[in-house]
């Protein structure tokens, strides 16, 4: 009877749009579970964030779908919708947890980890930067044991999600550019340069300075999203769109891309806000395979727990911080650890929560503006964005002329006369990396995991994957030059320490616990000081801007720069890897089809599956993940229907 009802509902979904009066919204968004149209769904999506709403939108074209989001619906919140709201402004969607203490200049330092908790998730609070992974990065993901995830396979999914608005003639004159062949022009997510272009004079000075600092080894590119951004600098677009009615730019969050617009309404889609999924309801077959049959749901503020049934699949999209916790509370994870919490193991999968990564940031870097340069073409006035110019430095750029050799495999027959001391050190840090620290804290399941990832990382650097990113932010009183390491090798974990779902898990990224990560950040800090000291960018700053900023001077010792880095760095908020897509014997959690190993119908489709930090900023890449996941899920449903 249940199968008949589900098949009937799927047919009903297909024909109902023709029966609806024009203009009647189809998607149901509620915060009262008693108003749910169904108690059983083809698909339940756990989390209404960046990827969750995208996956749900695609599935609901043909199937019944429920999204459960613990945060609120903030459709009219102007601080979220206005892309020019100062980055970091408090909002009802911006939350943070107390991460585990991290290494600092005086022992340990506290680390707050920010995340989005509303419809749209991180895409509703982030800096909007239109960054993409690279050819080398995605090919490294594929080489880790994930066929079909290389650049050539992945690019079409990013294109499918996107409606790119090319720069107009004025913007092109001011420095904006693009490559049409790498973009999409009919997807839900608006991507464009701001109208008008933000701080064009500052952008020009930033690009010219980067080129001169590196003697034109870093060159201009028309488009940082073409897969080959290493060694290049350019003006950057953002995931924003121009609203003709309001005559202003607006944030292209996943909510405003896949959920709210009239063209994205779905009869089969229900969204329940203000509720969290505590755990999955599963059955285990005689062969040991696990099947999800429902989810346990509770109001976020507390209250009665109830169960909703699922007939096809559960898709977990709660993000790299929270997806592992949901699996662990469901009995999926390290069995020994779960038993210690009183949880009956359902599936022994030690990789759940391991391999957690984040990119360390140097963001507290502001240079006072010369009063004579306090003009809109330099500051952006009231309409500013982070990352209007971005530079991606390769190992050659960041580490000097020997940078690439320092990443090559060390030949033990070579003497120190043949190979610089730096090359020997860098080799031991990357090609021959020690996994002892990561293994001891649970950052990896076995040593070979980090050794393999390090080798693939070094391979990517050899073909000019960027090693560090610099981005320029104009403001009314200061100009900011921020930096991040793109492919850190430090590995941490996400782990619950209580069965109470209202409690945050332990989140420990183990920032800068690998020496190579420290050295790369030291190199990044030195580049920041060079940029601030070099014209034409330095001409925009006050005479003592570098000293006033606190950034070590160009002649500072390595130890002085290191201590400054350790005292200054913050979380990048680009969390990935905690349910990694890689072979199970390396500690992987999901297959290349994003199916949790040992299960028949539990998928994960969020940042937690990305095994390496190949997304300089995660949002546009994650839309590609969502589009690919939805296609795989729909194809399976069609294959099963044809086999009946």
206-241 pLDDT, tens digit per residue, is: 999 999 999 999 999 999 999 999 999 999 999 999
Q: Which element (helix H / strand E) includes 240? A: strand 240-243
Q: How far apart are the C-alpha atoms of 326 and 603, rounded to whole Å?
A: 12
Helix (H, G, I), strand (E, B) or coil at 595: strand
pLDDT at 521 over 80: yes
- Average predicted confidence (pLDDT) for the chain: 92
Which residues, including other chains, have CB under 8 Å from residue 585's CB and lie 6 or more apart?
none
Residue with tokens 């756990």: 46
pLDDT at 395: 86
What tokens were used for 305?
């727990």
pLDDT at 502 over 80: yes
Strands (E), 486-626: 493-495, 506-508, 570-571, 602-604
pLDDT at 454: 96
pLDDT at 400: 65
pLDDT at 399 over 60: yes
pLDDT at 401: 52
Q: Confirm whether residue 363 is marked as ligand binding.
A: no
Distance (Å) of CA 181 to CA 159, 166, 197, 219, 473: 10, 12, 22, 20, 28
What does the pLDDT average to over 92-119?
A: 95
What does the pLDDT average to over 349-356?
A: 98
Please identify which of the residues 241, 275, 574, 642 carries the catalytic annotation: 574
Beta bridge partners of 506: 495
In residues, how long is the chain? 644
Using alpha carbons only, how large is the chain's radius of gyration in Å?
24
pLDDT at 429: 75
Q: Are the C-beta atoms of 310 and 293 separated by less than 8 Å?
A: yes
Q: Confirm whether residue 314 is marked as ligand binding.
A: no
Least confidently predicted of 341-345, 396-400, 620-624: 396-400
pLDDT at 18 over 60: no
Give the β-pairing of 389-393 and 332-333: unpaired
User: Which of these, 215, 114, 259, lies nearest to 575 by C-alpha position?
Assistant: 114
What does the pLDDT average to over 412-421?
A: 36
407 CB-side CA count, 13 A: 27
User: Which of these, 246, 260, 250, lies nearest to 74 by C-alpha position?
Assistant: 260
Q: Are the C-beta atoms of 31 and 11 separated by less than 8 Å?
A: no
Q: Are the C-beta atoms of 292 and 87 separated by less than 8 Å?
A: no
Proportion of the chain above pLDDT 70, given as a percent: 92
Q: Are the C-beta atoms of 36 and 66 separated by less than 8 Å?
A: yes
pLDDT at 426: 58
Q: Residue 196, preceding bond cis, omega within 30 degrees? A: yes
Q: Confirm whether residue 444 is marked as ligand binding.
A: no
What does the pLDDT average to over 280-284?
A: 97
pLDDT at 79 over 50: yes
pLDDT at 449: 98
Q: Residue 414 — very low, low, confident or very high, per pLDDT cuts 50/70/90?
A: very low
Is-catalytic flag, 232?
A: no
Q: How far apart are the C-alpha atoms of 228 and 399, rounded to whole Å?
A: 19
What secondary structure does DSSP assign to 403-422, as a single string? Answer: TTGGGSPP-TT--TTTS-HH
Residue with tokens 């700053």: 541
Strands (E), 76-220: 94-104, 107-116, 162-165, 189-192, 219-220
Q: What angle do CA 580, 581, 587 make, to 5 degrees?
A: 55
Please identify which of the residues 232, 239, 465, 617 carries the catalytic annotation: 617
Number of other CB atoms surrounding residue 383 within 10 Å: 18
Q: Which element (helix H / strand E) includes 68? A: strand 65-68
Least confidently predicted of 80-89, 336-345, 392-401: 392-401
pLDDT at 315 over 60: yes
Is-catalytic flag, 239?
A: no
User: Which of these, 176, 159, 173, 148, lies nearest to 226 by C-alpha position?
Assistant: 159
HEC assignment per residue over 222-266: CCCCCCCCCCEEEECCECEEEECCCCEEEECCHHHHHHCCHHHCC
Distance (Å) of CA 265 to CA 29, 256, 261: 11, 11, 7
């Amino acid at each position: 009877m249940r199968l008949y009802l589900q098949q009937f509902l799927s047919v009903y979904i297909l024909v109902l749009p023709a029966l609806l009066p024009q203009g009647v919204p189809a998607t149901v968004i509620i915060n009262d579970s008693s108003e749910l149209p169904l108690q059983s769904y083809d698909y339940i999506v756990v989390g209404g964030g960046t990827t969750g709403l995208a996956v749900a939108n695609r599935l609901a074209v043909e199937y019944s779908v429920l999204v459960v989001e613990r945060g609120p619906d903030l459709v009219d919140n102007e601080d979220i919708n206005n892309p020019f709201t100062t980055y970091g402004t408090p909002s009802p969607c911006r939350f943070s947890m107390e991460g585990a203490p991290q290494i600092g200049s005086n022992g340990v330092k506290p680390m707050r980890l920010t995340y989005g908790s509303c419809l749209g998730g991180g895409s509703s609070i982030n800096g909007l930067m239109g960054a993409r992974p690279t050819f080398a990065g995605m090919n490294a993901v594929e080489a880790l044991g994930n066929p079909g995830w290389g650049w050539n396979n992945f690019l079409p999914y990013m294109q499918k999600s996107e409606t790119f608005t090319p720069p107009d003639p004025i913007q092109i004159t001011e420095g904006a550019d693009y490559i049409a062949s790498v973009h999409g022009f009919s997807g839900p997510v608006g991507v464009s340069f701001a109208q008008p272009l933000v701080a064009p004079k500052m952008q020009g000075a930033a690009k010219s300075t980067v080129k001169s600092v590196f003697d034109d080894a870093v060159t201009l590119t028309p488009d940082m999203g073409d897969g080959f951004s290493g060694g290049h600098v350019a003006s950057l677009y953002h995931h924003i769109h121009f609203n003709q009615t309001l005559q202003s730019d607006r944030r292209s969050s996943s909510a405003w891309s896949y959920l709210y617009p009239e063209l994205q309404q779905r009869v089969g889609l229900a969204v329940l806000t203000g509720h969290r999924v505590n755990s999955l309801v599963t059955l285990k077959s005689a062969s040991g395979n696990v099947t999800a049959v429902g989810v346990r749901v509770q109001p976020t503020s507390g209250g009665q727990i109830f169960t909703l049934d699922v007939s096809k699949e559960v898709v977990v999209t709660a993000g790299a911080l929270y997806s592992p916790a949901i699996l662990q509370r469901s009995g999926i994870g390290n069995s020994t650890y779960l038993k210690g919490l009183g949880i009956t193991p359902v599936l022994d999968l030690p990789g759940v929560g391991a391999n957690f990564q984040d990119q360390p940031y140097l963001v507290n870097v502001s240079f006072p503006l010369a009063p004579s340069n306090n003009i809109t073409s330099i500051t952006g006035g009231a309409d500013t964005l982070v990352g209007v110019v971005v530079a991606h430095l390769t190992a050659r750029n960041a580490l000097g002329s020997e940078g690439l050799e320092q990443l090559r495999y060390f030949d033990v027959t070579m003497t120190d006369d043949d190979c610089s001391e730096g090359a020997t050190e860098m080799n031991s840090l990357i090609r021959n990396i020690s996994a002892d620290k990561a293994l001891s804290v649970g950052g990896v399941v076995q040593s070979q995991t980090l050794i393999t990832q390090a080798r693939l990382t070094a391979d990517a650097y050899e073909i000019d994957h960027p090693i560090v990113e610099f981005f320029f932010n104009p403001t009314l009183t200061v100009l900011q030059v921020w930096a991040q390491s793109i492919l850190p090798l430090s590995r941490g974990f996400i782990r619950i320490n209580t069965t109470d779902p209202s409690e945050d898990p332990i989140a420990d990224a183990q920032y800068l616990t690998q020496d190579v990560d420290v050295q790369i950040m030291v190199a990044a800090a030195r580049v920041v000081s060079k940029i601030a000291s070099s014209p034409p960018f330095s001409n925009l700053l006050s005479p003592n801007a570098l000293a006033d900023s606190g950034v070590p001077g160009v002649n500072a010792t390595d130890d002085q720069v290191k201590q400054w880095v350790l005292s200054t760095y913050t979380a990048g908020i680009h969390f990935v890897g905690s349910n990694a897509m890689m072979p199970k014997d390396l500690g992987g959690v999901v297959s290349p089809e994003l199916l949790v190993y040992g299960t028949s119908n539990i998928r994960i489709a969020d940042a937690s599956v990305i095994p390496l930090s190949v997304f300089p900023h995660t949002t546009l890449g994650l839309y590609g993940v969502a589009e690919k996941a939805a296609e795989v899920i729909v194809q399976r449903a069609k294959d099963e229907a044809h086999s009946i």
